[in-house]
A = this chain, B = another copy of it.
C-alpha cells in the first residue's frame, strides 16, 4: 500500500539516487515531462542497471530546476538547450547575449500587448458610452478593418 520503494523521500542523506517519479515530484513536473526533456536532450538519461530501474542523482534535479527557472524567464526549450551548454559558467558572454536577445524579445511583446491593451480599453469605453445603441462600436470597428 504505502511505503513502496518510490515513496521513500531521499531527504535524509544527500546524494541518494532517485527514481524518475521522485525527481518528477521534487521538480513539480509530470513524469512524462522528464521523459520528454530527455528526448529533447535537455536532461541526461542515466544508465539502466541490467533489467533494473534508472536512478537519478540530484544533478538531474538541479538541471530540471534550471530548466524551470529559465522557462519562467521566457526562454523556449530550444534556448534552454543552448543555455545548458553554457552551464559550466565559463561562457558568460554567450549567456549574456542570449539573455539580451530574450530581453529584446520580451520588450517587443510588452509593447505589442500595450498597444492591444489601449485599443481594447478604448473600445470597451466606447461600448460603455454607446449603451443601447443600434450598432456596437467594438463590432463596427472590427468590421472597418482596424489599422
Stretch at the interface among A8-16, A38-46, A128-136: A128-136
CB-contacts of A77-133 with B (<8 A): 83, 86-92, 95-96, 99-100, 102-103, 106-107, 109-110, 113-114, 116-117, 119-121, 123-124, 127-128, 130-131, 133
The 6 closest A-B pairs by CB, nearest first: A69-B146, A92-B136, A89-B135, A96-B127, A65-B145, A103-B120
A142 at the binding interface (Cβ < 8 Å) = yes
Known: A69-B145, A113-B74, A146-B72. A124 touches B107 (CB 8 A): no
A37 at the binding interface (Cβ < 8 Å) = no
Q: Contact partner of A106 among B92, B120, B143, B147, CB < 8 A?
A: B120
- For chain A, give the interface size range: 35 or more
Contact between B120 and A89, CB atoms less than 8 A apart: no
Contacts of A96 in B (CB 8 A): 124, 127-128, 136, 138
- CA A123 – CA B128 in complex, angstroms? 43
- CA A100 – CA B66 in complex, angstroms? 36
Contact between B89 and A102, CB atoms less than 8 A apart: no
Contact between B120 and A99, CB atoms less than 8 A apart: yes
A7 at the binding interface (Cβ < 8 Å) = no
